[in-house]
Structure 1
Amino acid sequence: MNTEPGWDLYRSFLAVLEEGSLSGAARRLGLTQPTMARHLDALEGAIGAQLFLRTQRGLAPTEAALELRPYARALAATSAALLRTASARAGEVRGTVRLTASDVVGAEHLPPILARLRADHPGLVIELVLSNTVENVLERAADIAVRMVEPTQDALLAQRLPPLRVGLHAHRRYLARKGLPTSLEDLAGHDLIGFDRETPAIRAALQLFPMLARGAYALRTDSDLAQLAAIRAGFGIGICQQAIARRDPDLVPVLAEAFGLDLPVWIVMHEDLKASARYRAVFDALVEGLRAVVAGPSAAP
């Protein structure tokens, strides 16, 4: 390699890798298809390896491309973090903060917290990424994360909150139609809502509640938001956070004494950001707001 490739070449490479075609990558970046082709040719020439093979389905990445993928993604995350960091002057609670949370937390709990935060700090811009996967805060794929698992990475500032309790719930319409089960064994005669694919967390829960295995469900989906929507629609009985059910008088707890799980809640960010006023403001607002969610409506600010 005689010259170091510029960031534009890696950005184009990553776009082609994720879109699977020059045309899709060009649309994503707002460039022309010939420009994308030139960028790929230049990067292949710089590293001395072919990155894509043309197939009937588009561009297929070579082994060399797959090896470069994590580094290109890290470059993209760093570039985006650099722009966010530069979006405000030191000491100001303004600029962009990228936040990630699970689907349910992001859709059900964060909006009022972020609304209050924006009212207090009109110069803040929030990028909210909803995903049940763990975004890499250490590599700045997100600035701050709300996690349901304990962080294991070093160099993170982490605040543990009281857990979110989950239990079985159903809409009043469903219970009026099918009746209220009196034991876990009675669930076999009900329409249950649950997962499609097992995860390590689900496998751990099934050791305690084997009657809730995949075959028991009348509706299977890995989307927590879809499960919640089905419960609210009266489809059947499913797992719901107590903090969410408390806000809806039509959602009724089912077998509360027999079934319940605690979801750990952590707020984390890179320790290098703790001296920044805007990141600290968002971090503290999340801690305060989610503590109130767990405590109940009477404690909400």
Structure 2
Amino acid sequence: MDWKAVKFDWNRARAFLVTAEEGSLSAAARALGMAQPTLGRQVDALESELGVLLFERGGRGLTLTQAGLELLDHVRAMGEAAGRVSLAASGQAQSIEGSITITASEIHSAFLLPPVVARLRREQPGIEVEIVASNATIDLKRREADIAVRSFRPTQPDLIAKKIGDEIARLYAAESYLERIGHPRTPEELSGAAFIGFDTTDVMVDGLNRLGLKLTRKNFPVLTASHLVHWELVKAGAGIGIVPEAVGDREGGVRRVLDDLPPMEFPIWLTTHRELNTSRRVRLVYDMLAEELGRG
């Protein structure tokens, strides 16, 4: 089929693109912020419009057909072009009023961003703010967010970044849990303690062992990918966790574990798209985030 000769609705094409990239209608609906039945109707309408089957519907989800694979390359190129147009238009916007989307990890979204957003709302009430709290890397080039607070420096040439500081994290536990395990004072005494992990890899185990601990995977009986759930588990006494100083030190009933251990440092980078950096609104919010987050 000559895809270039076909004219179709971009909303339907975008529904197809995100569904193909996410692998299921439910995941695509979450990514686009729409109801799954609505998304499904858009994909079905595109298939009807083109007269081809784009997905094989099976028990294990959706699989692209050959026609779907061919169309995907064209629609992906359209999406990238649409993103460049949107970025260029947004970058030329000189009005302060309007919307801004900031993405950060769950822990940063919950504990670092609220004071900054409160100041922003006081000083610039015409700016509407959306916070995307996610531990996944949100795509700035696709306008999934305007500004990102990240722990790594971006490598894409279209993105600009500024390091605004280093976050210090330490081991924390509820006082009730430390009492239960005998208030350990040496790394060796933590060999039988329970830790709360983030995933099933050995990254956390290896990192803590480099600090002088002697842990194995058996020391991590509780796992969660959510930073907020991780923190709540620590507070509840389920085990020891890694928590930023700015969060852990101000919580009653929780204290540092082995305070003489070297702290863990994570850089904080503020990132935006190069074209968005010419927008007065984005520049204002970017500078305010850099000022406020850089204080710590």
TM-score by length of 2: 0.81
Q: Using the alignment, how far apart are the partners of 2:137 and 2:8 within structure 1?
A: 30
Matched, 1:60 2:63: yes
Of the three residues 12, 20, 25, the one matched with 2:15 is: 12
- 1:299 matched residue in structure 2: none
Write out per-residue CA displacement over residues 192-246 of structure 1, whole angstroms, 9 at most, x where no aligned residue: 22233227x6476256146344321132222222111111112222111111112
- 2:157 matched residue in structure 1: 154
Q: Using the alignment, how far apart are the partners of 1:178 and 1:100 within structure 2?
A: 38
Q: Using the alignment, how far apart are the partners of 2:179 and 2:39 within structure 1?
A: 58
Does the CA contact (< 8 Å) of 2:209 and 2:215 recur in 1? Answer: no
SS at match of 1:119: helix
**Which range moved further: 138-147 or 157-166?**
138-147
Aligned length: 286
Summarize the Cα distance change of 1:198–1:151 in structure 2 as closer, same or farther, 3 Å threshold.
same
- 1:268 matched residue in structure 2: 271
- 1:51 matched residue in structure 2: 54
Flag structure 2 segments of 5+ consecutive residues without an equivalent: none
Summarize the Cα distance change of 1:227–1:31 in structure 2 as closer, same or farther, 3 Å threshold.
closer
Flag structure 1 segments of 5+ consecutive residues without an equivalent: 295-301
Does the CA contact (< 8 Å) of 1:166 and 1:242 recur in 2? Answer: yes
- 1:238 matched residue in structure 2: 241
Matched, 1:208 2:210: yes
Q: Using the alignment, how far apart are the partners of 2:221 and 2:190 within structure 1?
A: 11
**Which range moved further: 117-126 or 80-89?**
80-89
Q: Using the alignment, how far apart are the partners of 2:238 and 2:159 within structure 1?
A: 41
Query: Equivalent residues in 2 for 1:128-277 (5 A)?
Result: 128-198=131-201, 202=204, 205=207, 208-209=210-211, 211-277=214-280
Summarize the Cα distance change of 1:125–1:85 in structure 2 as closer, same or farther, 3 Å threshold.
farther
Summarize the Cα distance change of 1:154–1:233 in structure 2 as closer, same or farther, 3 Å threshold.
same
Does the CA contact (< 8 Å) of 1:44 and 1:51 recur in 2? Answer: no
Q: Using the alignment, how far apart are the partners of 2:263 and 2:77 within structure 1?
A: 39
TM-score by length of 1: 0.79
Identity of aligned residues (%): 34
SS at match of 2:170: strand
Does the CA contact (< 8 Å) of 2:104 and 2:150 recur in 1? Answer: yes
User: 2:265 is matched by which residue type in structure 1?
Assistant: D
Does the CA contact (< 8 Å) of 2:15 and 2:39 recur in 1? Answer: no
**Which range moved further: 53-62 or 259-268?**
53-62
Q: Using the alignment, how far apart are the partners of 2:110 and 2:237 within structure 1?
A: 20
**Which range moved further: 1-10 or 249-258?**
1-10
Does the CA contact (< 8 Å) of 1:13 and 1:40 recur in 2? Answer: no
Instruction: Report the Cα offset of residue 56 of structure 1.
Output: 4.4
Write out per-residue CA displacement over residues 172-208 of structure 1, whole angstroms, 9 at most, x where no aligned residue: 2222333321111111232322233227x64762561
- 1:108 matched residue in structure 2: 111
SS at match of 1:10: helix
Query: Equivalent residues in 2 for 1:286-297 (5 A)?
Result: 286-292=289-295, 294=296
Summarize the Cα distance change of 1:184–1:65 in structure 2 as closer, same or farther, 3 Å threshold.
farther
RMSD (Å), alpha carbons = 3.4
